[in-house]
A and B are shown apart, each in its own frame.
Chain A
Amino acid sequence: MLKTPYRHRHQHTVRRQRPRLAAVAAIAATLALTAAGCSGKANDDDAAEGDGGGSELRVGDGVTATTVPLGVLTDMTGVYATLGKSVTQAQQLYFDRFNADGGVCGRTVELTVRDHGYDPQKAVSAYTELEPEVLGFPQFIGSPYVAAVKDRIDGQDKGLVIPQAWSATLLGSENIRQIGATYDVEMINAVDFLVREGAVGKGDRIGHVYFEGDYGENALAGSEYAAEAAGLTVVGKKIKATDQDMTAQVTSLAKAEVSAVLMSAGPRQSASLAGVAAASGLDVPIVGSNPTFAPQLLETAAGPALLKNFHVSTSTLPIGSPEPGPAELAAAYGKEYPGELLDTGVIAGWSAADLFGEALQRACKAKNLTRGGVTEALLSIDSMDTGFGITHDFSDPAEPSTRESLILRPDAEAKGGMVVAEEAFTATAAADYAVGGAEG
C-alpha cells in the first residue's frame, strides 16, 4: 500500500528529469503570455457601426448584411417537452413565412434552437452561448431560468426576451416582455366569471389547487384578491408538480363545502381533479389557469367530467376557433407539421414570434436594427391585434399587455379540444388590481 512513494523516493536520479519539467513549464508560460497579445477576444478598434445621423441603417448585436439571428431557448426533452415542441415549431413556421415575405430590412431571420431540457445549468449555459450571437430571444421556457439571467439581460445584454410564462414576477423589465394577462389577472377574471354565472355568491367558499412556485403562488394572489372583493373565502391547496392524484385535495375541498374550484397546475392534475370530483359527488364548476388543459385529456376517463364542469381562463382564442387568426394558423401548422398536436403552445409560440417580427419591422423602419432599437420599437406598440381575440399594449413594461381574459370550455368536437365560453372581458376587480403586488 505504501510501496513506491516512500521506499523509492530517493533512489532515482532527479537531475535528469528537472530540465524536462522546466522546459514544459517555460514553453507553456511563454505561449500563454506572448499569445495573450493576439487573443481573438482582445478589443480591436472595430470599424465603428455607422451612426450616419438617421439616414443609414444601424445594425449590431449579431445582425449581418443578410441575416438577423434570433435565439430560441426551449425544452424538448424535459417536463415541458410538448409545450416546447409546439412553441418552437410555430415560431419556425412564422419566421419561414416572415422570410418568404421579404424578411426585415432585406435580411432574413435565422433561429438557433437550444434545448435545455428544463435543466438550470443547461439553460443558463445555453443563454450564455447564444447571447453574444443573437439579437434577442422570441422564446425562453422556464421562468426560474429567465429570473436567473434577468440581471444580465437588464444589466449589460439588453436583448429582447419573450418568456413563455405569465407570472407577474417577471414584469417590470423593458427587455423581458410577456404576452397576455398574468396568472393573477387570469384568476381575478375567473372568479368574476364564476360570480356572474351564479356559481358562487357572497359568503361562499372557493377552492384553489395550485402548484408551489411562482406560477401557482401568483395565481393564488389573484384569487385571494378577487375573493376578498367578492366576499368569498379561498381554500388554498398547495401541491407539487409531482402530485398527480388529487383525491386528497378533492376530499378536503368537499369537506370544506366549496362551491367552485380554481386550478393552477398542469393538465394531469386537472384531469385527476375533475375525475375524482365527479366520482365523489363534488359537482362544482372548475376554472383553470391557461396551462391547465391539454386536448389529450378529453380521451381519458376524466373526459366527460371535464366536458361538464371544466373551464379555462386565458388570453387567446382557442386554436379551433373559426375566427380567421386561429383558423389560418391551424391550417398552416397542420400543413407544415401534419399529425402534430394542436395545443395552446402553437398560439403562444406564434404570438411571440409575431410580436418579435413586428418589433423588428418597426426597428427597421426607425433605421435601428440593434437590441436597443428592438426594445424601443416594442415600447411603441400600444395596440396590437394578433388575431387571437385580445388587443395587446406593450408600452408599459410594468403592466401585463392586457387585463382581459377569455373563458374557454372543452369541446370534444373542436380542433384543439376547446371552444369559447365567454368572449374577452375585464373584471372590475382586475382593472383596479395592482399587478405583482409587492413583488419586485
Chain B
Amino acid sequence: MSEPLTAPRRAPRRYALPAAAGAGLLVALALPFYLDRFWLQAGLFAMAAAIGAIGLNLLTGATGQLSLGHAFFLAVGAYGYCALAGGDEEGLTGLGLPTAVAAAGAVLLAGLAGGLLSPIAGRLSGAYLGIATLALIFIGQHLLFNADDLTGGYNGRAVPPLELFGYRFDDSEDVLLNVPFGAAEKLWYVGLALLVAGALFARGVLRGRPGRAMNALRDHRIAAGVMGVPVARLRAGVFVLSSMYAGLAGVLLALVFQRTVPEYFGFVLSLEYLAMIVVGGLGSVAGAVLGAAFVSLLPQVFMRYSESLPLVSATGDGGVAPGEASRYLYGAAVVAVVLFLPGGLARLAPRRRTPEKKEPSDAEDAIQTQTSAHRA
C-alpha cells in the first residue's frame, strides 16, 4: 500500500517541519519578555507535561505497554529532588546536595524505581501492566501522605530553587533588557532546554534501532521475539526510560509549583497523561508535545476566559458556573479531537511519514531490519 513517492511534491514538507520547529523555538525564547507570569507558568506546566508525556508515549504509544503509574514516577522525581536538595528545615529529612546534582539524582531515582518494577514490567503486557501499575499510585500516594519526615505530609514540602553555576532560578528579581525576571521567566529557559533535549533524545530512540524494535514489539510480540528482539529486556528498558522522563517532568513541576503537594500525584494525573498521548498522537514525540500542550493549557485558558463566554452566569446565579463551563468545554474538545482526528493532533501538522507508522506491506522490510538490527 505504499503511496507513490513523488519527490518534488514532498520536498517542501520535509523542511517545513524543522523550519517551523526552529521558528517556534525562537519565538519560545522571546516569550518571557512579553507574557505575564500566568501564561509563563501555564507554559511551564505544559513543558513539564510534555516531557512526561514523551516518556509515556515511548512506553504506551511506541511499545504498546499501558501504564497507569506515571503519576507515581512524577512524584518520585518531584519528591526525590526535594529530599536530595532540601535541608533539614521544618523537621524534614534532606541531604542538602547541590540542586543540579539533586535534579539529576531525582531523575536517576525515578529510573531506579522503574528498574525495581522492571521485572514485572518486563513480563506483563498491555492492560495487565496497566493494572499492576495502578497499584503504584495508591501505594505512592499513601506514602506521600504519611511519610511526613520525607514528604511533609498533606501540605507537602517546599522546593529548593534550582541553582546552576551560582545562578539561582528563584523569585529574586533580575532585570534583563528592562524586563524583570522572576522565577517563571528564568525557569522558562530551563524548561525549554530540558524539553528540547528530551524531545531530541526520544526522537533519536524512536528513529533508531530501539524504536523499530519497540514498534515491532507493540505490533506483534511473537514476531518481534522470533526476529530476535529481547522482549522482556526491551519492555523493562523502555519502562525505566519512561520512568526517568516522568522523573524529569516531576523535577520541573516541583520547581514551577515551588511546593510539592501529594494531592496532585493521584490517579487523575495518570489519566491526564494518557489523555495527552491519545489526543496528541500515539507513538510520536510531536504527538506527545502537542497533546501535553492541549491537555494542560486548555483547562487554564477556559478557566480564565469562561466568564466572558455566553450562557455562563456569574457565580451564584444558578446557571452554569465558569468552572463547570470550562470542564464541559474541555471534555467536548477532547471528544472532538478523538472523534475527528483519530491519529491525534500530530496529524494536523504537515509532517513527513515517520517510520513508526507501519503498513502491513512493510512487514518484509521490518523483518529484515529487525534481524539485522539484532544480529550485531
A residues at B contact (CB < 8 Å): 1-5, 7-8, 11-13, 16-17, 20-21, 24-25, 27-29, 31-33, 35-37, 39-43, 74, 76-77, 85, 88-89, 92, 113-118, 120-122, 124-126, 128-129, 131-132, 143-145, 147-152, 155-156, 169, 212-215, 217, 337, 438-440
Q: Tell whether, in the assembled complex, residue B154 and residue A144 are in contact, meaning their CB atoms are under 8 Å apart.
A: yes
The residues of B that contact A217 with a CB separation of less than 8 Å are: 153-154
Q: Tell whether, in the assembled complex, residue B355 and residue A36 are in contact, meaning their CB atoms are under 8 Å apart.
A: no
In the complex, B310 has a CB within 8 A of chain A: no
Interface size classification for chain B: 35 or more
The residues of A that contact B38 with a CB separation of less than 8 Å are: 125, 128-129
Q: Tell whether, in the assembled complex, residue B177 and residue A42 are in contact, meaning their CB atoms are under 8 Å apart.
A: yes
State in angstroms the CA–CA spacing of A156 and B8 once bound together. Answer: 58
- The distance from the CB of B138 to the nearest CB of chain A, in whole angstroms, is 11
Q: Tell whether, in the assembled complex, residue B155 and residue A29 are in contact, meaning their CB atoms are under 8 Å apart.
A: no
If A17-B11, A21-B18, A77-B321 touch, whether A148 touches B179 (CB-CB below 8 Å) is: no
B2, B7, B27, B154, most chain A CB atoms within 10 A: B154
In the complex, B264 has a CB within 8 A of chain A: yes
If A17-B14, A76-B315 touch, whether A122 touches B30 (CB-CB below 8 Å) is: no
The residues of A that contact B26 with a CB separation of less than 8 Å are: 25, 28-29, 32
Q: Tell whether, in the assembled complex, residue A35 and residue B212 are in contact, meaning their CB atoms are under 8 Å apart.
A: no
State in angstroms the CA–CA spacing of A113 and B315 once bound together. Answer: 8
The residues of A that contact B179 with a CB separation of less than 8 Å are: 36, 39, 41-43
Question: Which residue of the partner chain, among B33, B261, B322, contacts A39 with CB atoms under 8 Å?
Answer: B33
Task: Report how many A-B pairs have Cβ atoms within 8 Å.
Answer: 209
Closest partner residue, chain A, to B155 (CB atom): A147
In the complex, B37 has a CB within 8 A of chain A: yes
A1, A128, A143, most chain B CB atoms within 10 A: A1
B residues at A contact (CB < 8 Å): 2, 5, 7-8, 10-12, 14-15, 18-20, 22-23, 26-27, 29-30, 33-38, 41-42, 45, 89-91, 145-146, 153-156, 158, 171, 173, 175, 177-180, 182, 184, 207, 212, 215, 257-259, 261, 263-264, 296, 299-300, 303-304, 314-316, 321-324, 327, 352-353, 355-356, 358-359, 362, 365-366, 369
The residues of B that contact A1 with a CB separation of less than 8 Å are: 212, 215, 355-356, 358-359, 362, 365-366, 369
State in angstroms the CA–CA spacing of A42 and B35 once bound together. Answer: 11
Q: Tell whether, in the assembled complex, residue A32 and residue B324 are in contact, meaning their CB atoms are under 8 Å apart.
A: no
B20, B212, B322, most chain A CB atoms within 10 A: B322
Closest partner residue, chain B, to A44 (CB atom): B178
State in angstroms the CA–CA spacing of A113 and B184 once bound together. Answer: 23
State in angstroms the CA–CA spacing of A169 and B158 once bound together. Answer: 14
Q: Tell whether, in the assembled complex, residue A125 and residue B42 are in contact, meaning their CB atoms are under 8 Å apart.
A: yes
Q: Tell whether, in the assembled complex, residue A155 and residue B19 are in contact, meaning their CB atoms are under 8 Å apart.
A: no
Q: Which secondary structure characterizes the binding site on chain B?
A: helix
Q: Tell whether, in the assembled complex, residue B19 and residue A41 are in contact, meaning their CB atoms are under 8 Å apart.
A: no
Closest partner residue, chain A, to B272 (CB atom): A121
Question: Which residue of the partner chain, among A31, A122, A132, contacts B303 with CB atoms under 8 Å?
Answer: A122
The residues of B that contact A438 with a CB separation of less than 8 Å are: 91
If A17-B12, A42-B179, A438-B91 touch, whether A77 touches B323 (CB-CB below 8 Å) is: yes
The residues of A that contact B358 with a CB separation of less than 8 Å are: 1
The residues of B that contact A21 with a CB separation of less than 8 Å are: 15, 18-19, 22
State in angstroms the CA–CA spacing of A215 and B365 once bound together. Answer: 62
A sample of 17 more A-B contacts (CB under 8 A), given A43-B179, A148-B156, is: A3-B362, A4-B5, A5-B355, A17-B15, A25-B22, A39-B178, A92-B316, A115-B322, A116-B323, A120-B263, A124-B257, A128-B37, A128-B38, A132-B36, A148-B261, A152-B171, A156-B182
The residues of B that contact A120 with a CB separation of less than 8 Å are: 257, 261, 263-264
State in angstroms the CA–CA spacing of A440 and B324 once bound together. Answer: 37
The residues of B that contact A150 with a CB separation of less than 8 Å are: 259
Q: Tell whether, in the assembled complex, residue B11 and residue A13 are in contact, meaning their CB atoms are under 8 Å apart.
A: yes
- The distance from the CB of B178 to the nearest CB of chain A, in whole angstroms, is 4
The residues of B that contact A7 with a CB separation of less than 8 Å are: 5
Q: Tell whether, in the assembled complex, residue A2 and residue B322 are in contact, meaning their CB atoms are under 8 Å apart.
A: no
State in angstroms the CA–CA spacing of A346 and B26 once bound together. Answer: 51
Q: Tell whether, in the assembled complex, residue B321 and residue A76 are in contact, meaning their CB atoms are under 8 Å apart.
A: yes
